[in-house]
Structure 1
Amino acid sequence: MSNGQWEVVGKSKKSQNGKIKNKEEDKKSFKNGPKLEDIIPHSQIKSFYAGMEIDDDRKPVNKNSAKKKKAQEKKAEPPKQKPPKTIEGALEAIDPNELANIITTNKVRFSNAPLVWLKEVASFLNSKTQIEVDDPTFSNYPSTYPLSTLPPEIRTSLENVLQDAGKANAQLFFDVTLTALANDISRGQSVNGHRVLLQMLANDYPEFCTASVQKSASLRNSYQNRPPIGLSLLWAFGQGGLTDFSVGLKAWQELFLPIIELKNYSKYVVVYLSNLLDRFAKMDNKVTLEQFLAMCDTVNAKRNGLPKDLSSDLIKQLSKFKDMYFSRSGNKLQVSFNQIMKKLPNQFLSGSTLDPYSRVLVESLVNCLERDDSCNATWRQLFHRCSKQSATLLDFINNNWAEVSPRLKRKSLKVTVTEYKLVGADVLKGKKKDETIIKTTKICQDILDRMTSTRRFPWLWASFLLLVSIGGLVSYDVYRVGGNFPKSATGKVLKDLGVLEHSQRAWQKTLSTSARGYLWVETNAPIYYAQTLEVSKPYIELSKDSIIFAYKKSLILYGNAKDYVIEKTPVVLATIEHYAPGLVDNVKGYASSGYEVVKKYSNDYYQFTSDYLKTKVFVGEWAPEILQNKTQTALNVTREHVTTYFHWFRQQVSLYSEIP
């Protein structure tokens, strides 16, 4: 406007009324423009967005299309497998190739570190078997669980890697895994892989379970206040007992027994011992005297600290242990008798006062007397030092006479009881009377009365049989002369003596009495036979058992002798060969030649004899067919004569029985 005129200032792109704007201003104005909340009431905003979703850029999206898109994505995904609920299911789900690849890879990467292989295998198994275990002892499963559920291919791979690691590394891994088992349980991690590997190692090397007893006991003590971990450790310690009785017994005595009085462990400790004894009861596992006495001391020390039912079960296990000891103890038991007698309480126990533990000890003493008769002499030497214990044993024998007496030798027992009675009589001569001695003296007399009241000789039956025999001879003598008694040899003798008439009357009386006696025997013999059979049945069974026992013992002796001969034969042959080279081979050659010669001539002689008998002897009247017919005829005639005689005998008995 310098020249006095109006000028237009640059507004080339925008008009004055704001109809034309650039892009930046459009965006700015959109962003800074009014919001929906400023225009529409707040209560209507939700209905305005119905059916719409806001995406990541805060833009509305159609909700129905989003649902369809998600459904299509779900259909495209493969269905997920349900996780296994049991250990056996988890083990079966493991891919054998995956395990084999892990083992191969670790062997290549850590060729000189077998422990690393085994730890990686344990970690792999733990990751694949993440199953919660309520009972760490698997009491409701077989004793070999969970190892028994392992698929064959997986088991083969594990056995091979353990074998490749070597026994020394396997033992070290066993100890390491025990610690890892406890630590991982405390951290809430899965340990089923540890369990499987520990069970497999204990199955192949039972001695691993008791190789480091002190370390194992220290580990157990560290976690004994946490029952799930403590029971898991006890279960692992006891796996060696599945295949080796001595290992199982040692583990029980040194690792189980110290915590038997803890409430959470008592039942499992007793159950493990029961299963161990039942498992090896019928196997050839010898229990030593030291082990038996140690078990007695253990049970006596621990039984009072247990509940009544568990204490009773523990006594039952002691009785099983006792049976195992005596079944393989031999017949030299004097030392055993002496030691067991001294373990009885120094008091007279009778009836209800004989507790279950002392009863097992008394039964053990009876077993000693049964198997070794010389224990009676040992017992007599202990009268003065163990008088009350002896009284307890005598009272037990007396109260259980029917059961005990057949097992003992009465002659030796009678000597023992008589001597104890004399010792008691000497004691009773003093001023102070001992009630135990008085009672025991009466018990000794009862036992002696039982042994002396033996069955007497049946004179009545013997006399009756003798009279019947004499009557039969006289009857035959009379029958031989046609029934004329005076003409018989008996009648002639009596006639010469002048007593024929009297003897005839006596003979008739004898025949009539014998006939009536025979009829009585015929009627009552079956009844008395049945009663006799019923009374003697236990003794027959005892004899049968004794014969079977003797037969088994003879087989054992034969087997031992056979094994000894087989074992020593090479030594003897080697000795002979050393001092007389070639002698053994010469003897074998001569023996073989002699055997062939004997075999040849025996065969020839047999053929010659057979041909001679067929052609020279058994011909004509001696032909086999004729001999067979004659034999059959003789049997038929004999049967007819016996039948005829029996009918005649019955007639005579009926006839003479009617004579007054």
Structure 2
Amino acid sequence: MSSGQWEVVGKSKKSLNGKVKSNKDDDKKPVKNGPKLEDIVPHSQIKSYYAGMEIDDTKKAPKDKKKDGDKKGKKQDKKSEASKPKPPKTIEGALEAIDPTELATIITTNKVRFSNAPLVWLKEVASFLNSKIQIDVDDPTFSIYPLNYPTCVIPDTIRESLEKVLQEAGKANTQLFFDVTLTALANDMSRGQHVNGHRILAQMLAQSNPDFCIASIPKSASLRNSYQNRPPIGLSLLWALGQGGLKDFAVGMKAWQDLFLPIIELKNYSKYVISYLSILMDKQAELKAVVNQDQLLAMFDLVNSKRSALSKDLSSDLIMQLSKYKDIYFQKSGNKLQVTFNQLMKKLPNQYLSGSALDPYNRVLVESLLDCLQRDDSCNATWRQLFHKCTKQSATVIEYIDTNWAEVSPRLKLKSLKLTIAQYKEVSVEALKGKKKDETVVKANKICQDILDRMTSTRRFPWLWASFFLLVGIAGLVTYDVSKADGNFPKSTTGRLFKDLGILEHTQYAWQKSLSTSARGYLWMETNAPIYYEQSMNFIMPYAQLSRDAFTVAVKRAGVLYANIKEYLTEKSPVVYSTIEQYAPGLVDNVHMYSKNGYETVKKYSNDYYQFTAEYLKTKVFVGEWAPEILQTKTQTALNATKLHMSSYFHWFREQVHLYSKIP
């Protein structure tokens, strides 16, 4: 218009946003056959019509392109998401996803760049593992996994690279790095970062060098105290510090006593502290554990100081581990336990603990005292020397022996125990002579008498053996009678008696039939008895086990009932005695005194008679041909001859069996 002429309005080369607009889409549209625009619209209006179309196109085109671009972007995002690998959900998966070449390259690069700084190599390795194993750990102690988890799931190629770099760093540097790792573990966890790399390296170092865990106990205790109010961090530190104990029992016990036990009273740590001790006790055979006397006594003191602060279940678990610990000591203690017995006796409370009053901790103490008596008989002499100082403690032990006689008596030497109990009974009698009688001593005196009665054998007439010897005697007489008649039974005295009675023929027939049947039965039993025995045992064994269990339960119930009745009678006995004293003062003491005097008199004369008899037999009887040496030689000769005759008889018996088995 500026030139005063009409200008042809064409399609604009720029869109409204300043970008060049392409009409490729328009060019691609197919052209349909039909009337042309020039035939319908005048030529003067065609230019304005196309100009309007251009403006509309320029307004709509950018919108269409934006929509197409958004659709293409979404499709590409979906494809990239589908092709992108899913992150691992477990430590095992994360370790398997690590490229061994990448780890080796990082180690090699750091060795070249920092050739004189091994700590830098190890820190870079820890950072690399932390970045690759970004797995959240719910249980920092890995209680549901094997003890050597997570190092047990490291691929071999990764493990070799880690072991090699730790070895090349040197023991001094790795020990320092272990302490640094513990600190980094706590700091990174407090900042919410992943620390699985620290865990793996700390475990590998503790397994290869258990002493690292107890090399800096004050520093480790300080670090534990700083984070003990944050259980996940505190448990992670305890887990790392306890890994050395899985390879060395002494290291584990040292770490447990100095690092675990001080926080056993904290609710969040109690269960794991006891659980770790249980693991050590279960692995003691594998680790070849050894416990000395000082360690045993210290363990008793530690458990006694902490058990009252725990719940009933946890306290029971702790005392159970204490019992296992004392078993380790006695397994390799030898037979010199007098000092141990003395110290353990003094740890018992200075009171008489009977029945339910004997708690599990003191029960372990009493069991330890019995172990001393079992392995070292001289502990009985030590015990007798402690009667006046530890009267009530001794009463506790004696009462435990009496209550558990069936289990305890096979372990002890009854001869020494009998002397000890008898002497304690005398000590308790001396204590009764005072004006005020101690009920504890009265009860202990009765228990002593009960034990002495148990050890006094009561002989009964041996009916079974008497019957057996009677039958053997009759058979011998008949055999001798037949042998006098040159083996002819009818001519023997017994045979003539049977003939007079009219039963000789019947007896001979019955005898031959018995021999024939017995011989065939013996051969059948010899062949089939083992087979039927095995089948019978397989069938009966479950029922026998059930019967044994039922019998065991019944015996325990009966024992409980007996203990209750005995405790009731023991409790009521002083009342009966006091009633007797009220109506007949001094009667009980007089009866006891006369009984004791009579017992002492009988004992004295019996001993004198025994000494006299022994001396008479030694000097008058067992001399000359009856000397012990000659009797021993004759006895040995007789045994050898008997053995030879038994062998010959066995072969003769087999021949007779086969002979009589052929008789119809």
Q: TM-score, normalised by structure 1?
A: 0.66
Q: 2:92 aligns with which of 75, 78, 88?
A: 88
Q: 1:359 aligns with which of 360, 363, 370?
A: 363
> Residue 275 of structure 1: SS of its match in structure 2?
helix
Q: Name the counterpart of 1:391.
A: 395
Asked if residue 169 in structure 1 is aligned to residue 198 in structure 2, the reply is: no
Cα drift, residue 478 of structure 1? 2.5
Q: Describe the superposition over 1:393-437 as per-residue Cα deviations: whole angstroms up to 9, x where unpaired.
A: 000000000111111111000000000001111111121211111
Asked if residue 123 in structure 1 is aligned to residue 127 in structure 2, the reply is: yes
Q: Name the counterpart of 2:479.
A: 476
Q: How far, CA to CA, are the matches of 1:95 and 1:129 in structure 2? A: 12
**TM-aligned CA distance change 1:160 to 1:636, over 3 Å:** closer
**TM-aligned CA distance change 1:333 to 1:489, over 3 Å:** farther
Cα RMSD of the aligned pairs, angstroms, is: 3.9
Kindly provide the amino acid, as one letter, of the partner of residue 122 in structure 1.
A
User: What pairs up with 1:50-199 in 2 under 5 angstroms?
Assistant: 60-70=63-73, 73-74=76-77, 77=80, 79-199=83-203
**TM-aligned CA distance change 1:400 to 1:103, over 3 Å:** same
Q: How far, CA to CA, are the matches of 1:146 and 1:306 in structure 2? A: 31
Q: How far, CA to CA, are the matches of 2:17 and 2:176 in structure 1? A: 76
Q: Describe the superposition over 1:322-375 as per-residue Cα deviations: whole angstroms up to 9, x where unpaired.
A: 211112212211111111111111100000100010001011111111111111
Q: How far, CA to CA, are the matches of 2:79 and 2:490 in structure 1? A: 128
Q: How far, CA to CA, are the matches of 2:105 and 2:311 in structure 1? A: 53
**TM-aligned CA distance change 1:196 to 1:51, over 3 Å:** farther
Asked if residue 266 in structure 1 is aligned to residue 264 in structure 2, the reply is: no
Q: Name the counterpart of 1:400.
A: 404
Q: Name the counterpart of 2:657.
A: 639
Q: 2:280 aligns with which of 267, 276, 279?
A: 276
Does structure 2 retain, via aligned residues, the 8 Å contact 1:131–1:190? yes
Q: How far, CA to CA, are the matches of 1:217 and 1:137 in structure 2? A: 18
Kindly provide the amino acid, as one letter, of the partner of residue 295 in structure 1.
M
**TM-aligned CA distance change 1:199 to 1:488, over 3 Å:** same
Q: How far, CA to CA, are the matches of 2:246 and 2:651 in structure 1? A: 69
Cα drift, residue 251 of structure 1? 0.5
> Residue 280 of structure 1: SS of its match in structure 2?
coil
> Residue 131 of structure 2: SS of its match in structure 1?
helix
Further displaced range: 110-119 or 474-483: 474-483
Q: Name the counterpart of 2:258.
A: 254
Q: Name the counterpart of 2:244.
A: 240
Q: Describe the superposition over 1:42-65 as per-residue Cα deviations: whole angstroms up to 9, x where unpaired.
A: xxxxxxx9999999xxx5443442
Q: Describe the superposition over 1:518-566 as per-residue Cα deviations: whole angstroms up to 9, x where unpaired.
A: xxxxxxxxxxxxxxx99xx99xxxxxxxxxxxxxxxxxxxxxxxxxxxx
**TM-aligned CA distance change 1:643 to 1:382, over 3 Å:** farther
Q: 1:330 aligns with which of 325, 334, 359?
A: 334
Does structure 1 retain, via aligned residues, the 8 Å contact 2:248–2:287? no
Asked if residue 290 in structure 1 is aligned to residue 308 in structure 2, the reply is: no
> Residue 144 of structure 1: SS of its match in structure 2?
coil
Does structure 2 retain, via aligned residues, the 8 Å contact 1:110–1:117? yes
Q: Name the counterpart of 2:304.
A: 300
User: What pairs up with 1:478-557 in 2 under 5 angstroms?
Assistant: 478-482=481-485
Q: 1:204 aligns with which of 199, 202, 208?
A: 208
Does structure 1 retain, via aligned residues, the 8 Å contact 2:238–2:260? yes
**TM-aligned CA distance change 1:342 to 1:52, over 3 Å:** farther
Q: How far, CA to CA, are the matches of 1:107 and 1:53 in structure 2? A: 64
Q: Name the counterpart of 1:221.
A: 225
Q: How far, CA to CA, are the matches of 1:50 and 1:424 in structure 2? A: 123
Cα drift, residue 643 of structure 1? 7.0
Further displaced range: 281-290 or 159-168: 281-290
Asked if residue 348 in structure 1 is aligned to residue 363 in structure 2, the reply is: no
Further displaced range: 631-640 or 253-262: 631-640
Q: Describe the superposition over 1:478-505 as per-residue Cα deviations: whole angstroms up to 9, x where unpaired.
A: 22354999997999xxxxxxxxx9xx99
Q: How far, CA to CA, are the matches of 2:459 and 2:400 in structure 1? A: 24
**TM-aligned CA distance change 1:18 to 1:382, over 3 Å:** farther
Does structure 2 retain, via aligned residues, the 8 Å contact 1:129–1:193? yes
Q: Name the counterpart of 1:428.
A: 432
**TM-aligned CA distance change 1:30 to 1:371, over 3 Å:** closer
Q: How far, CA to CA, are the matches of 1:105 and 1:67 in structure 2? A: 44
Does structure 2 retain, via aligned residues, the 8 Å contact 1:481–1:487? no
**TM-aligned CA distance change 1:196 to 1:393, over 3 Å:** same
Cα drift, residue 289 of structure 1? 1.3
Cα drift, residue 226 of structure 1? 0.9
5+ residue gaps, structure 2, are 9-13, 19-54, 502-543, 550-648
Q: How far, CA to CA, are the matches of 1:302 and 1:349 in structure 2? A: 21
Q: How far, CA to CA, are the matches of 2:142 and 2:312 in structure 1? A: 25
Q: How far, CA to CA, are the matches of 1:159 and 1:326 in structure 2? A: 39
Q: 1:410 aligns with which of 407, 410, 414?
A: 414
Does structure 1 retain, via aligned residues, the 8 Å contact 2:221–2:259? yes
Does structure 1 retain, via aligned residues, the 8 Å contact 2:245–2:280? yes
Q: How far, CA to CA, are the matches of 1:279 and 1:414 in structure 2? A: 39
